[in-house]
Structure 1
Amino acid sequence: MAKSVLNTCAATALVLALSACGGASTKSDEVATSPSSGGSQSTPSKSVAAPSDTPEDDSSFVDGVLTTPKMKIEITKHTVIGVGKKGNEYGSKPVLALWYKTTNLTEEKVNPTDFILVFTAFQDNDPNAENELQVAGLPDDRFLDSQTENIKKGGTVENAVAYELDDQTTPVVLVASNDLGMSEIGKSTYALK
């Protein structure tokens, strides 16, 4: 008798769990089936969460400016620095250096080094695999003391970052994401000449 009661309870719990999974439409269902900005209907997808069902759905990376609900990063300048040159004195490869401004849009902690959490750099010079570039040393010593400062809400702090290049001809593609590269917000290409 006790075994029958346990089986009934387990079956009831399983039915409740399954009915919760297949119940009413969720936000991700609605977003996946809503028209895209181009006016065409997108295909519904329930198995993979779309980037737009997160609070960061209004994020963008256009013309070198990343805007998320948390911060704004504006890339102001880029250049290639050769081995042994100022800004790459200790490197063994040439680097692409990027200067940027970070603005905190919330009360949350934001600092200029958050750049490397939201951007990944690639050089498409390998026919078989993605070629993600490694972060190099700080290319501008003016930011040695300020690069890890917490930025106040509404405040803006400048900084720089560099990526080791595998060659000096293939452009670098900078990809922005809110989730450590899982889903792309946008990308920008930087020529090396």
Structure 2
Amino acid sequence: MTTERVRIPGTRPVRGSLDSDDGDARAVVVAAPPHPQCGGDRHDGRLRAVSAALPEGIDCLRFDYGPWDEGRGERADARAAREWAADRYDRVALFGYSFGGGVALLTAAAVSGPVAALSPVARLDDGSDVVAAVDRVDDPLWVGYGIRDDTVDAERVGEAVGGRGGTVETFPADHVFVGREARVGSAVAAFFEDVL
């Protein structure tokens, strides 16, 4: 696998890392990191685990958010990254972890393509309701969370996804999945392999 640094055009400075197996991938997963004010960036272990587990033919674009904007700008960053990917690939999916899971689900409510969220927040800092956004997603959905997660209310998001006929997976873990990154990466990658 090779990693290429990319700049995402838009109104905010967004950088990304495109992971590719140097093949002719026709699909890509755009991966949104956790909360930037808590150290979240494109190098997050859960994002890397998903990227590493994706099968041949599916690349991964991990990106950093621009300056902190309570969720509004971060959603714009995700849309810009998705647009960049859509110009280069036939099929585009979204993934996010924690805060990034909320960003991915809110973005998916406005664009087409499958979405997976690992331990997603139920609400962004700007008040955007992630649970309500699930009803506006018309493509395949996957949510996973740890059964001992007391950091975010991912279970509420999972209930909404399950109610829409999406896939919900639980793991014997807390919010950060210490020692279980490869397992959750494989679960997310399996979902994308099925829907892409």
TM interval, shorter chain, is under 0.3
Higher-Rg structure is 1
Higher fraction of helix? 2
Which TM-score applies when normalising by structure 2?
Answer: 0.24
